[in-house]
Structures are given as structure tokens and as C-alpha cells.
Amino acid sequence: GNIVAKSVEVEERAFVELDKVAFLGYVTSVTNKDTDGNVTQFNLYVREEEPSVDLDVSLNSTVVVNVTSTTTFQYSSRDTNFADLPFDASAVAVGQELVVHGQFTKTQDQPTTVDPSKIYLKLQTVQGRFSSLVRVGADGKTGAFWMTPCSSLFQGAPILVFTSSQTAFLNVFGLTDLRPQPTLLVMGLPFYERDAGTINDVSVPAGTIVLLAKQVHQLE
């Protein structure tokens, strides 16, 4: 079919002849941090490659990403970050779907390593169940709620979902119509808040995944 583009962003250029491509996948574990709490190494489950280098790095395998001081961080879907949250080396966490641009190195009997030039936080869909309502605004859309994710990657840790007046609700009119029983599909940007703080006057505990929602879909 056709794509009607609202915006186009060039993330990074690939050089296949130099083994520099993009790996799309999920963070399965954070294996090293520096003394300031910044992630310096993590494992990425490879779901997709752009362009494909499947003969060298097979899909559904895990690569080791070595973050350096020159690695830059960014997030997709800029308008979804309505809380203006930062994404950097301190905000990488298990369960996030990332796009890692970099040069890979394949060695015998060792996991493939990637030296990333850019890391993008990708717009992703998280499946879960509504747990409790935290806040709801006068418009019925703006607010926050806790959700229990279904994916084992999150290890049962609850996710704090924030919504705005621009969040699209499917099969429900707004926040007050959410129920614990049906499954939710929440599409948005999952930020990791290492330190305790507040977002839109809502208290956020330290070590919380905060999902800024572009769409909340309650299944039948």
C-alpha cells in the first residue's frame, strides 16, 4: 500500500561494506553501568535489521551493545513526548524497544558486539492490564494510570502510563472507562525514570518505567 507521511526523519546512514547497520529489538538485560548510573553495556534481542545482514547476524539472536561517550541518544515520534522527558544513557532499561545504529563485530564463539553511534527509543506497543487510576483531568483524557505488563521482560514491575488530550482512546471514551479485566494495548514511548520525581504533578517512584501514551486500546 501507500504511506501518507506526516514527517520524515533520517536517523543515521548505513554502510554495509563497513558492517554499519541498524538493529531493531528489545533490551533483555543491562550488564554494566558506570559510577554515575549510566548504562555502558546492554544486551539487545534482534528483531529486525536495516538493511539485512542476516548472514552475519541472524534475526532472533542477541547482540552486546557497548555504549561509549560518543554515542548519541534520541527518541522517535517527537510529539508523543508531551512531558518532555530526556532519553540518555541513564534511561536505558529492560523491555524498551530500541533502534541501535552502529558497527558490529563478529567473533568466533563470542556474541556479536555493536559499537553504537546513535540509539533511538522507538515508539512501541505494550500489552497489559489496567491496575489503578492515578489522575484524570477535566477532559477525561489527560491523566495517569498504573498498568501491569504482560511481557515477562518487565518482570511484573508495574508501568506508569501518562496520557494527554492528544492521546487516542479506542473502545473506551477515556480514562474513567478503563477496567482491570480487558487487555490493554498502549502505544507510546517508554522512558525509564532512575530517580524519584514528579511528572505533571504525579509522583513517580525511583526506577519506574513511564509510558507516554499516543494510543490506549482496550480490547473487547
Average pLDDT over residues 80-86: 96
Strands (DSSP E) found in the chain: 20-33, 39-50, 62-66, 72-75, 97-105, 113-121, 124-136, 143-149, 159-163, 168-170, 183-193, 197-199, 202-204, 208-218
Average pLDDT over residues 69-86: 95
Pairing type for strands 72-75 and 39-50 reads unpaired
Average pLDDT over residues 28-56: 95
Confidence band (pLDDT; 50, 70, 90) for 146?
very high
Average pLDDT over residues 111-138: 96
pLDDT at 54 over 90: no
**Is residue 153 classed as helix, strand or coil in its secondary structure?**
helix
CA 179/CA 199 separation, integer angstroms:
23
What local confidence, expressed as pLDDT, does residue 220 receive?
78
Average pLDDT over the chain, rounded to an integer? 95
Average pLDDT over residues 160-178: 96
What pTM was computed for the model? 0.93
